[in-house]
Amino acid sequence: MSQRTQGRSILPGVNVDDVFKDHDRYFLPRQSFQSLIDQLTLQGYGCVGPVMRDGAIIFDRLDMASQLPQGARDRQAPGYYRLENGGGPRWFSWANGPQALKPYLFPSREVLWEGTVDEDGGLNFKERIIEPEPLAVLGVRACDLAALAIHDAHFLKGPSPDAHYARRREQLFIVAVHCSHPASTCFCVSTGDGPAATRGYDIALAELDEGFVIDAGSDRGKLILDQLPLSKVDEAQLDQARRELNAAVAVQTRALPEGPLNRILFENLDHPRWDEVAERCLACGNCTSVCPTCFCASENEVPSLDGQTSEHSREWSSCFTQGHSYISGHVIRPDIRTRYRQWLTHKLGSWIDQYGRSGCVGCGRCIAWCPVGIDLTEETAAICKDARDE
Amino acid sequence: MQTSTPGPKPRMAVHKFASCDGCQLTFLNMGETLLQLADMVELVHFAEAGPVAPDAEVDIAFIEGSVTTEHDLERIKQIRSHSGFIVAFGACATAGGIQALRNFADAGEWLSAVYATPEYIDSLATSTPMSDHVKVDLEIWGCPPNRDQVLGAIRAWLYGTLPKQSQDKVCMECKRQHAVCVLVAKGMPCMGPVTQTGCGALCPSFGRGCYSCYGPAEALNTDSLAGWFEGLGLLPEDITRQFRHLNNSAPGFRDAATNIISTDAGHGH
């Protein structure tokens, strides 16, 4: 650990070494981890957590701690993701997979309302009311929590909050795990969103070989903690957890350029780099689908064959699709250049004006899951470098 | 409402050209929905399902298959003349199908290599889509198209509108299905990023790469994907084969394969 990165600031005013100071912390032995899943189940939560499937860490239903990805390490690079067995007892020694919370709050496809024709030929519209089961998600990262806060701002604030998102959000219980193994694609230090989970969780865990440093971030979290076989955390365990967080800061090599990106990007809309990236970009939308903050959707009418009913459904869309900029017979962004530019200038630029912060939380998913390995930190740096040189 | 309007039902035909019959199965596999459809339209000609009246006047005709013989050419022109709205459906009718591979070869030589008595075969040197020969009102891509596309098209036509067809790439649907990307997580060549969705990301959901059954998508970047395939270790002939599949003669894929071949030749292989 170099002096330079030791205790480096991860959030304005938050230091890695301060992460374990404010709350009451306890220790949950590894062999008792099942009791956490059992208590959540007893409280009526369905449990979701990381499992290995099809060569990636994905979030799925979970009843047993033994389903967790023991020893799994993720090796990530632009356009590349592989799981390896690193050995050891740990379950959370990986950075992330293609998704975490987003599909549980903002499903990829859902019916919002339906229309029916009544006997007199009149039209009736009926909202689809959902009653989601309470869900506890285990293994949520700091970047995912930052993305959740952004989605909360998008879906819940403002004059017309999204009813489906709101109902799912109320029922969500979050068990965060501090990130000890960022991937090479991660840059949450640069965005100020990780690797430590500092807010927005019900329970947070720091994983050690022998068990977990655990604390509650909400009253609901405290209720669960009260039921667990916890012991007092000792100073050596806290030291180890701090050291691992510091290492998770030090290991990150990618970063976004210093801002203000909302000004720099919009001053460079004709930069030749947009043409260059358009030669590589496939406009496939994978970056936006795996982005935990992207929320664009298309709404479609699906009538029955007899024309008597129609379902109005919403599904994930992307600024890389033709439909995204289709207005009254005209596609405003017909080429890949303008679509990539829309994604980057919105994500890193106009998002700041819209939501008070960048839309990027540094999870690096768009880099790893881009089929041709386009790296948004590299693209942004290329545009900003020339802007600064001027 | 179409169903409550008394009077004659719209007349519909399903015609077959050079094809495997799989697109017609999209109708036959509808089950009860096919009975519902038969209540709403009069199925005048659909040889695979029973009724045969190829020369009857119809309001809407579905065309399966490609044009591969002189007789096909005459037939499609004839059908055009007595059909109101023509839907070319499936990879053969919209892009020439797998049999359009002959477009890149010496068809005569293939005939003599395959058939003991090639003089019995009377076919054109090319396999071509319907739109090369007649005005097509709607194309539904896919090998085969799915039932929702076909039913959606009929429903929209009954309403007097055009159907909404997704132009998204397979990747969009793959991510909606939460399938793990085989290209990124397995280094497996997958045509998803250049292919139109419609299949529900069927192959990637089962851990294998997309075959491009639904043809080239819009905002196509075949050069970039081909370059990435090369980086994965695929030889030029393997990459060419990716593009020369069920939609080999769709312009986007035809040109991509031609580019790879000419670039490779330029490198002196």
| A305 → closest Cβ in B151, B179, B187 | B151
Residue of chain A nearest B189, judged by CA positions = A371
Q: In terms of CA atoms, which chain B residue is nearest residue A309?
A: B1
- Eight-state DSSP code of residue B103: G
Q: Residue B199 corresponds to which amino acid? A: C
pLDDT digits (tens, 9 = 90+) for A82-121: 999 999 999 999 999 999 999 999 999 999 999 999 999 9
**Interface contact flag, B175 A108, Cβ < 8 Å:** yes
CA distance B140 to A206: 53
* pLDDT of B1: 39
Q: What is the pLDDT of residue A24?
A: 83
| Pick from A274, A247, A268: nearest CA to A186 | A247
Q: Where in chain B is the domain with CATH 3.40.50.700?
A: 11-159
Q: Say yes or no for a CB contact (<8 Å) between A281 and B221.
A: yes
Cis geometry, peptide bond prior to residue B144 (ω within 30 degrees of 0): yes
Instruction: Give A74's strand partners.
Output: A83
Residues 6+ apart with CB under 8 A from A205: A28, A92, A175, A176, A177, A178, A212, A213, A214
Strands A26-29 and A231-232: antiparallel
pLDDT confidence of residue A9 = 39
Instruction: Determine the residue of chain B that is closest to A314 in CA distance.
Output: B176
> Can you give the pLDDT at residue A3?
34
| C-alpha to C-alpha distance for A30 and B21, rounded to whole angstroms | 59
B219 sits in the region (left: phi over 0; alpha: psi -120 to 50; else beta) called left
The two most distant CA atoms of chain A are separated, in Å, by 78
Does the pLDDT of residue A2 top 80, yes or no?
Answer: no
To probe the interface with B, which of A102, A279, A284 has the most B CB atoms within 10 Å?
A: A284
pLDDT in tens, A316-355: 999 999 999 999 889 999 999 999 999 999 999 999 999 9
Angstroms from A78 CA to nearest CA on chain B = 9
Residue A136, token pair as written in the block: 């506890």
Predicted-complex ipTM score: 0.94
Judged against a pLDDT cut of 80, whether residue B5 lies above it is answered with no
Residue environment code for B222-256, b if the CB has 16+ CB neighbours within 10 A, otherwise e: bebbbebbeeeebebeebbebbbbbbbbbebbbeb
pLDDT at position A385 is: 85
What separation in angstroms does the CA of B135 have from each of B53, B131, B269? 22, 6, 42
Select from B159, B166, B168, B210 the residue whose CB has the most chain A CBs within 10 Å, as the one to mutate to test that interface.
B168
CA B58 to chain CA centroid, Å, is: 23
Q: Do A56 and B185 touch (CB under 8 A)?
A: yes
Q: How would DSSP label each residue in B131-160?
A: GGTS--SEEE-SSSPPHHHHHHHHHHHHHT
- Measured distance CA(A305)–CA(A91) in Å, rounded: 49
| Chain A CB within 8 Å of residue B159 CB | yes
A307 vs B159: CB contact, 8 Å cut-off?
Answer: yes
State the average pLDDT over residues A365-380.
Answer: 98
Peptide bond into A195 cis (omega under 30): yes
Instruction: Identify the pLDDT of residue A14.
Output: 52
Cβ distance of B228 and A336 shorter than 8 Å: no
3-state class (DSSP) for residue A27: strand
**In which band, very low, low, confident or very high, does the pLDDT at A11 lie, cut at 50, 70 and 90?**
very low
CB proximity B77 to A under 8 Å = no
What part of B 230-269 touches A (C-beta under 8 Å)?
Answer: none
- What is the pLDDT of chain A when averaged over all its residues? 93
- The CATH homologous superfamily to which domain B11-159 belongs is NADH:ubiquinone oxidoreductase-like, 20kDa subunit (3.40.50.700)
User: In this structure, how many other beta carbons lie within 10 angstroms of the beta carbon of residue A108?
Assistant: 18
Strand-strand pairing, A309-316 and A109-117: antiparallel
pLDDT bin (cut points 50, 70, 90) of residue A12 is very low
d(CA A195, CA A252): 10
Average pLDDT of chain B is: 94
Under DSSP, the state recorded for A356 is S
Q: Is A74 within 8 Å of A97 (Cβ atoms)?
A: yes
Q: What is the mean pLDDT of residues B213-238?
A: 97
Question: Searching chain B, which residue's CA lies closest to the CA of residue A322?
Answer: B167
A317: its two tokens: 């869309």
- What the block records as the tokens of A189 is 């230090």
